[in-house]
Amino acid sequence: MMSSLARQAAHGASALRRALSWPARVGAERRAMRQLARMSDHELHDIGLVRQDIVDASVLRPNADPSEMLAARRAARERAASDEADLAA
């Protein structure tokens, strides 16, 4: 069993790694958002997104992961489409 001091040290090391890697993560997320913004509406539709999703993701707080929001939006659209297909059947 890990002692309280060892758990605190491990937590501190983990927090330090997250803090040091933050600029790289933010940079990668910004590059991905720029790539998505350059896609056509048709290309976005192919991956389950719409232009407004990109706009909404671009205004999230800096430490938020836009991929979580985009994945949730896509999943919601897939569920809605599935529900509509069930109703039509």
> Would you write out the chain's pLDDT as a tens digit for each of its 89 residues?
557 777 776 777 777 777 777 778 778 888 989 999 999 999 999 999 999 999 999 898 877 888 899 999 999 999 998 888 878 87
pLDDT at 2: 59
Instruction: Report pLDDT for 23.
Output: 77
Q: What is the pLDDT of residue 65?
A: 83
pLDDT of residue 6: 72
Between the two ends of the chain, the Cα-to-Cα distance in Å is 56
Q: How far is it, in rounded angstroms, from Cα 64 to Cα 16? A: 18
Whole-model pTM over 0.95: no
**Domain coordinates in residue numbering, the chain:** 4-88
